[in-house]
Structure 1
Amino acid sequence: MSPNALHDDTAGDGLARRFEVHRPRLRAVAYRMLGSVAEADDAVQEAWLRLQRTGSDGIDELGAWLRTVVSRVCLDMLRSRSSRREEPQGVHVPDPVVGPAEEPGPEQEALLADSVGLALLVILDALDPAERLAFVLHDMFAVPFDEIAALTDRSPAAARQLASRARRRVQGSAPRPDSDPAARRRIVDAFFAAARDGDVEALVAVLAPDVVLRSDGGTRRPAATVEVRGARTVASRAIMFSHMGPWTRRVLVNGMPGVVVAPDGVPETIMAFTVSDGLIVAIDALSDPDRVARLVPSLDTIRSDTDS
């Protein structure tokens, strides 16, 4: 039984209310660990089920106990995911969190504050599971290394090294977004204006020389799964899809400027833009029909589904 459904005076209602206090933070930890909205919800739900089975008697600090459970579940998921990657994988864009462009919700604000854009999540996907856990828990949530050591069956010193290795990889690979939201949006608007006009030079002017475009079409749209680099290459692809302009709706994607492309009002593609030093350094597009339908069922649900 989900704690969301417990609002009456049942015996478990008090426990459910206590769990609900911690649920947003647990979900934030799980999402950053897994880069998947559905898997994050599964991890949090598993923590609730374990709490139901054990009860809170003997738990000194419920929040820390729940965080430990969620972290262990996420670590198991990451290890299982890694063990299945026997063949090189194609482009994978993590699940985006989509919200209204004009009014960020609490979850969007948290993502923006932590700079947890899709470009960073792509880098986190490349980390070893234990490295990812150490980096997320320590650098994003200030969890002490003693606790991380227990989760990873290592010494505190070894846990510190895990986080340090992950931090070096992130700092060397993940772009740091510009801090001014209005300036970021102006650059993205200029990108779409240039694409609409078919102006390659104007497109190149707003793209970093080594800009990367990642597009994940999923198994049902393999032709839409590509990764290309370089300003002129990305500009050429943008011109090819200039017809999307009338169907775009401005949104925030993980706190960064983005759009939802929705022909006839049906969401088809989610695009996020990372702007650093006044130029677009990464474009992450998700056009997997199954995931887009789950993450943004309709334009009307952008506010209600992502601000909860």
Structure 2
Amino acid sequence: MSLSSREVDLFERSRGRLEAIAYRMLGSAGDAEDAVQDTFLRWQAAAREHIETPEAWLTRALTNVCLNQLSSARARRETYVGQWLPEPVLAGDRMLGPAETVEQRESVSIAVLALMERLSPHERAVYVLREAFGYPHAGIAEILDLTEANCQQIYRRAKQHLATGRSRRAIDAAEARRIAEEFLAAALSGDVDALVRQLAGDAVSVADGGGEVPARTTPIVGALAIARFVRSSLRPTVAERFVGAEVTLHAAVVNDGPAVVAVTGGRVIGVISLEVTADGIAALHIQANPGKLARVTEHW
């Protein structure tokens, strides 16, 4: 069934919101784009004259697409090579969605997106719609064909699964960039002690190479071990020997948090996202899988 220009415009006005919901649910910008495109095809095939509230219909259709993708993604994760981490997105990308509140910014952080792998598909959907987009439980229940009481219970369970015992520090974009600059300066100085002072004592470093590039398959634990690893791996001579070309390192804001971006020949080859807590930098999430760096490269 062909779409009128008004119906196309209506969908396009919703595209940014739909992408932001899908990205939080799936942890992948590429998968989010596919989910939105699938939703568009469902919109095109629907009996639109009977749809009273297009925004609600589109949200429900997208959520169902994402739930299907999450179910198949669980099987793919079982055969994934090494550690799985979400796809990073640069500040200003509409995929990040609303960022007015602390809860909205935290829900799109690499740390929380990684933790959301602990959730069932329905827990993830409820958490995203409630925490990041402020949907009432009654509305979420309607989207997911649940009772409102069940929806509230799922939300509480999701929050419990995401609790780490660490108090993440709320920071704005300016402070995020400052932290990234200080971390990069310490890394390039070769001063291990300077790096250790920025890290929490029980900090953890996790890397995702996806089997495409060399990356540690087990986490590095402890401030000193991480500082030594960062000092050795970020030295320009080491990085350039590894990729066979000049590598430049940049402080950046990624997923509303501090990050270091490695670039060669205009292509992003690595993103180190820093999780900041009251005790310092508690985690490094290193994304080196080329398949998860295409969007960052496009927007760099």
TM-score under structure 2 normalisation?
A: 0.85
Q: What percent identity do the matched residue pairs reach?
A: 33
Kindly provide the amino acid, as one letter, of the partner of residue 280 in structure 1: I
- 1:237 matched to 2:229? The reply is yes
Q: Which amino acid aligns with 2:264?
A: P
Matched with 2:286 is 285
- Which residue is 2:149 aligned to? 157
Q: Is the 8 A contact 1:112 1:255 kept in 2?
A: no
Corresponding residue for residue 223 of structure 1: 215
Aligned to 1:266: 267
Alpha-carbon distance, 1:256 to partner: 1.2
3-state SS of the aligned residue for 1:75? helix
Q: SS where residue 39 of structure 2 aligns? A: helix
Structure 1 residues 275 and 142: alpha-carbon distance in aligned structure 2, compared to 1, 3 A threshold: same
Q: 1:79/1:142 Cα in 2 relative to 1: closer, same or farther (>3 Å)?
A: same
Q: Is the 8 A contact 2:176 2:256 kept in 1?
A: no
Pairing of 1:111-126 with structure 2 (within 5 A): 111=99, 113=101, 114=104, 115=106, 116-126=108-118
| Residues 1:174 and 1:61: Cα distance change in structure 2 (over 3 Å) | farther
SS at match of 2:86: coil
1:22 and 1:138 map into 2 onto residues whose CA distance is 18
Partner of 1:78: 70
Cα separation, 1, equivalents of 2:264 and 2:210: 19
Distance 2:29 2:116 in 1: 15
- Measured in 2, the distance between the counterparts of 1:25 and 1:98 equals 17
Q: Which letter does structure 1 place at the counterpart of 2:90? A: V
How do residues 1-308 of structure 1 correspond to structure 2 at under 5 angstroms? 12-86=4-78, 90-99=82-91, 104=92, 110-111=98-99, 113=101, 114=104, 115=106, 116-172=108-164, 176-244=168-236, 247-277=248-278, 279-292=280-293, 294-297=294-297, 301-302=299-300
Local SS of the residue matching 1:223: coil
Question: Aligned partners of 1:228, 1:65: CA distance in 2, in Å?
Answer: 45
Report the Cα distance in structure 1 between the residues aligned to 2:143 and 2:258, rounded to whole angstroms: 36
The aligned residue for residue 7 of structure 1 is none
Whether the aligned pair in 1 keeps the contact of 2:176 and 2:258 (CA below 8 Å) is yes
Equivalent residue letter for 1:77: Q
Instruction: Identify the range of structure 1 (41-50 vs 135-144) with the bigger mean alpha-carbon deviation.
Output: 135-144
Q: CA deviation at 1:218?
A: 1.2
SS of aligned partner of 1:283: strand
Supply the AA of the counterpart residue of 2:163. Q
Q: Is the 8 A contact 2:20 2:97 kept in 1?
A: no
What amino acid maps onto 1:182 in structure 2?
A: A
Question: TM-score scaled to structure 1, two decimals?
Answer: 0.83
Aligned alpha-carbon RMSD (Å) = 2.6
Compare 148-157 and 74-83 and name the one that shifted more: 148-157
Q: How big is each residue's C-alpha offset from its partner over 1:194-245, in whole Å with a ceiling of 9 and x where there is no partner?
A: 2212211111100011212111111212435442221111111111113149
More moved, 19-28 vs 163-172: 163-172
Match in the other structure for 2:242 = none
Letter in 1 for 2:159: R
CA distance in 2, matches of 1:80, 1:161: 25
